[in-house]
DNA sequence: GCCAACGTTGGC
DNA sequence: GCCAACGTTGGC
């Protein structure tokens, strides 16, 4: 199994909306590196849900429900999306400040490449966020 | 609201 | 293929 993190501005599409709607097609990604990561997702992979902008923090855990397929919102170009399902919210959201201060997370792409919207995580990074979020599956 | 970092575009 | 200009993202 692989692990990922996706970013979303809460004003645009929040974790609460995602939970209420019981999942979403993760459309609108228009960046080649992010697309490559989307296409690497396998059904069942765990995906951390991160709120960017106001209140930057990891808020929840999702799972890949459907692997990459053509993004129906793309009017031109070769873009992909996946379907994600909510698993559970973190008992304690993990803020960017905490992530930045954590030695075990200093290599996380969230910090190293702050503009990437879909990124891979190592098992150690995922476990550390679970630990900081006081959450288990 | 500002600004740094990064990606994309287009002229050459 | 290089690089300047521009647009966007996202942290603060």
Distance A81 CA to C3 C1' (A): 33
Q: What share of chain A is helix, strand, coil (3-state, %, to 5)?
A: 25, 35, 35
Distance A25 CA to B4 C1' (A): 32
Taking the model in full, what pTM does it have? 0.95
pLDDT category at A53 given cuts 50, 70, 90 is confident
- Domains recognised in chain A with CATH numbers: 3-132 (3.10.590.10)
pLDDT category at A75 given cuts 50, 70, 90 is confident
For residue A77, pLDDT over 90 is answered with: no
| DSSP conformation class of A131 | H
Contact A34, A5 (CB under 8 A): no
Strand ranges, E, within chain A: 3-8, 24-26, 46-51, 57-70, 80-95, 118-121
pLDDT category at A41 given cuts 50, 70, 90 is very high
Question: Cα–Cα–Cα angle for A97, A130, A102, nearest 5°?
Answer: 35
Q: Which nucleotide is nearest to A117 (CA to C1')?
A: C9
């Amino acid at each position: 199994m692989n692990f990922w993190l996706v970013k979303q501005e809460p004003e645009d599409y929040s974790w609460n909306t995602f939970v209420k709607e019981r999942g979403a097609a993760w459309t609108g990604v228009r960046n080649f590196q992010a697309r490559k990561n989307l296409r690497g997702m396998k059904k069942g992979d765990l995906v951390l849900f991160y709120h960017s902008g106001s209140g930057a923090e990891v808020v929840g855990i999702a799972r890949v429900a459907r692997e990459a397929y053509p993004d129906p919102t793309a009017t031109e170009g070769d873009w992909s999306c996946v379907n994600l399902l909510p698993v559970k919210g973190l008992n304690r959201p993990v803020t960017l400040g905490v992530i930045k201060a954590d030695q075990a997370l200093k290599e996380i792409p969230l910090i190293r490449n702050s503009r990437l919207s879909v990124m891979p995580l190592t098992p150690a990074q995922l476990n550390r966020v679970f630990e900081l979020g006081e959450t288990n599956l």
